[in-house]
Amino acid sequence: QKEVEQNSGPLSVPEGAIASLNCTYSDRVSQSFFWYRQYSGKSPELIMSIYSNGDKEDGRFTAQLNKASQYVSLLIRDSQPSDSATYLCAVNLMDTGRRALTFGSGTRLQVQP
Amino acid sequence: EPEVTQTPSHQVTQMGQEVILRCVPISNHLYFYWYRQILGQKVEFLVSFYNNEISEKSEIFDDQFSVERPDGSNFTLKIRSTKLEDSAMYFCASRVGQGSYEQYFGPGTRLTVT
């Protein structure tokens, strides 16, 4: 199983809709989960972190974590064309012994005006 | 708002040459990282650095790579003898320290090896 897995997309949503991005990860003891946004040719920009099961909201973004299912998601409400980017899921995978981030390949989001 | 900076933004070098990529982490951060991203691929961890020593490195970070914190602000990545496959975006990241695992990335250096 891939360590951090995301659908590559593109995920296309109309402006104003909710975009739902999903990520699964391979180990059961990971504690730290992050969502980064990456515009083409730019660096990853941290938008959300989540450490506990449940939901965490920040503005139009909500991160959801379910450790039992090894699943983390990101909801973007009222999607805007400026949200069009690749969204990277990143995890501190504890079972690798590695404290550094392991990234998924990213989901490309397209918000249609 | 403090941010990680990196220089140069783009470096072109010939195969076999040495390159040094520079980073200035956020000033109160204690942990520093280098990642790379080959075009069209995922972001990959190279090395982490804490308390003036390497704390972790990946299988990519072989003897051709080295890191250094030459003074109180800079953090450098050296590639001794570049190969074509070293062409990638190199990102520096930092995090504040214990209890906070959020890493903030710099804008990156695009390395092109010809």
Q: Could you tell me which residues come within 8 angstroms of residue A9 by beta carbon, excluding any fewer than 6 positions away?
A: A107, A108, A109, A110
- What's residue B81's pLDDT? 96
- Euclidean distance between CA atoms A83 and B53, whole angstroms: 38
Q: Is B42 on the interface with A (CB under 8 A)?
A: yes
Residue A44's Cα: distance from chain center in Å? 12
Task: Give the residue ranges of chain B where pLDDT is below 50.
Answer: none
Long-range contacts (CB closer than 8 Å, 24 or more residues apart) made by B46-49: B46/B77, B47/B77, B48/A99, B48/A100, B49/B75
Q: Is B25 on the interface with A (CB under 8 A)?
A: no
- What's residue A81's pLDDT? 97
Rounded to the nearest angstrom, the minimum Cα separation between A42 and chain B is 6
Q: Is B94 on the interface with A (CB under 8 A)?
A: no
Chain A: residue whose CA lies nearest to B88:
A41
- Euclidean distance between CA atoms B19 and B8, whole angstroms: 11
- What's residue A30's pLDDT? 81
**CB-based contact B72:B27 (threshold 8 Å):** no
DSSP B84: G
- What's residue A2's pLDDT? 65
The predicted-structure confidence for B36-50, as pLDDT tens digits, reads as follows 999 999 999 999 999
- Euclidean distance between CA atoms B43 and B37, whole angstroms: 5
The predicted-structure confidence for A84-110, as pLDDT tens digits, reads as follows 999 999 998 766 566 789 999 999 999
With beta carbons under 8 A apart, name residues in chain B contacting A106: 42
